[in-house]
């Protein structure tokens, strides 16, 4: 039986969160612990309304190009970690990257996300040339980099070349949890420094974290939310952790759909104008995951523009979807899905309203 009491409590908390854009830790934990579907619908409804207030019923599409799966890092969760001997490594040439962009441009995309592992096979200058060329040949396009941790001077140089945005998930804002997820040579402090620098330089900056990663607790999630409040990123990437068979976390459980949806809704209410992707990982753990994400406050999708021949090799986690409507070529399918829940797909630049 549904308890009307629980429902009323969620009405109170969600409304308070929406008005104040914050809640005390104890109340945030209450929200994140809710399991009753009716109460959760109340939370999602508030998040949806808040999103529509700023972005209407537009869902922004970004074309994702996974341009290299070489990586110098060895994060325990990630399928393209340095130590994984079972990945077939690839690195797209400048020409290949550029032809993905042209294909995307012809399909109507006006924003491109260049994502890759931290690959020293590309010099800063190589990346700069790619940015310049895209900006010159696709007027009005936004270029987003998602390429990890580099020196401030390098970030500045790419910005000067014309890069508009940078995505760098913080992964967790809790020091101990960070140590569970990463080897000794990596540091949360460094990650936060990079994010602060990116923002200072002028990038539209994206942070974010996985849901259900090993060692994550309500307390570490509160730390993530507080960090986002403090950083005020333009985008927050939030998707479920999904184990990858060749990583130390192969036997760990996936993050859940419901916890991911709750966090999307809470982040929408805390940072009303943030861009919030309904991630590929969410679409991987449930066939309607991304639609549910949108109905919980997400407003961005990132279809894949990488060459089909390399998609299987960009396996951050197992069973990653890559050839259906999440691919850029499946734009009609994606459009249909977005329409089916009463939204429209927008191929515009989709700048943040912050």
Return residues touching ligand 5AD (CB under 6 A). 77-78, 169, 171, 210, 239, 241-242, 244, 281, 316-317
Q: Return the DSSP state at 83.
A: T
HEC readout, 287-348: CCHHHHHHHCCCCEECCECCCHHHHCCCCCCCCCCCCCCCEHHHHHHHHHHHHHCCCEEECC
Q: How far is the CB of 145 from ligand 5AD (least distance, A)?
A: 12
The smaller minimum CB distance to ligand 5AD, of residues 314 and 343, is found at: 314
Decide if 264 contacts 32 (C-beta within 8 A). Answer: no
Return the SS3 of 202.
coil
Cβ proximity to ligand 5AD: between 50 and 111 the closer is 111
> Nearer to ligand 5AD by C-beta: 239 or 272?
239
What residues contact residue 232 under an 8 Å CB cut-off, 6+ apart?
Answer: 271, 354
Between 116 and 272, name the residue whose CB sits nearer to ligand 5AD: 116
Nearest to 262 by CA among 8, 26, 7, 14: 14
What's the closest the beta carbon of residue 171 comes to ligand 5AD, in angstroms? 6
Residue placing its CB nearer to ligand 5AD in the complex, 18 or 81:
81
Residues contacting residue 130 through CB under 8 Å, at least 6 positions apart: 94, 97, 98, 114
Q: Which residues lie below 8 Å from residue 22, measured CB to CB, with a gap of 6+?
A: 229, 270
Considering the complex, state which of residue 246 and residue 351 has its C-beta at the smaller distance from ligand 5AD.
246
In this structure, the dihedral spanned by the alpha carbons of residues 110, 266, 226 and 187, taken in order and rounded to 10 degrees, is -60
Rg of the chain over all Cα atoms, to the nearest angstrom:
19
Q: How far is the CB of 239 from ligand 5AD (least distance, A)?
A: 6
Q: 143 with 164: CB under 8 angstroms?
A: yes
């Amino acid at each position: 039986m549904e308890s009307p009491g629980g429902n009323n409590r969620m009405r109170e908390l969600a409304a308070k969160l929406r008005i104040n854009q914050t809640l005390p830790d104890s109340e945030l934990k209450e929200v994140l612990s809710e399991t009753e579907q009716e109460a959760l619908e109340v939370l999602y409804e508030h998040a949806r309304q808040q999103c529509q207030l700023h972005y209407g019923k537009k869902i922004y599409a970004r074309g994702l190009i996974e341009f290299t799966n070489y990586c110098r890092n060895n994060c325990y969760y990630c399928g393209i970690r340095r130590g994984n001997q079972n990945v077939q490594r690839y690195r797209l040439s400048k020409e290949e990257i550029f032809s993905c962009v042209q294909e995307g441009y012809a399909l109507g995309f006006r924003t491109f996300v260049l994502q890759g592992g931290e690959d020293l096979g590309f010099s800063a200058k190589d990346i700069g040339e790619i940015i310049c060329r895209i900006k010159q040949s696709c007027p009005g396009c936004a270029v987003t980099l998602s390429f990890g941790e580099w020196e401030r001077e390098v970030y500045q140089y790419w910005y000067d070349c014309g890069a508009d945005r940078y995505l760098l998930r913080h992964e967790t804002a809790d020091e101990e949890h960070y140590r569970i997820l990463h080897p000794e040579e990596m540091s949360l402090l460094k990650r936060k420094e990079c994010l602060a620098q990116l923002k200072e330089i002028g990038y539209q900056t994206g942070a974010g974290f996985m849901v259900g990663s090993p060692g994550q607790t309500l307390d570490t999630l509160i730390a993530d939310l507080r960090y986002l409040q403090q950083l005020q990123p333009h985008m927050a990437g939030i998707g479920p952790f999904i184990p990858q068979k060749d990583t130390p976390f192969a036997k760990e459980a996936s993050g859940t759909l419901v916890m991911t949806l709750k966090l999307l809704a809470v982040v929408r209410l805390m940072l009303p104008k943030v861009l919030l992707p309904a991630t590929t990982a969410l679409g991987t753990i449930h066939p309607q995951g991304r639609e549910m994400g949108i109905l919980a406050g997400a407003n961005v999708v990132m279809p894949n523009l990488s060459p089909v021949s390399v998609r299987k090799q960009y396996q951050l986690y197992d069973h990653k979807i890559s050839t259906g409507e999440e691919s850029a070529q499946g734009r009609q399918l994606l459009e249909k899905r977005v329409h089916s829940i009463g939204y429209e797909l927008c191929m515009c630049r989709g700048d943040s309203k912050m």
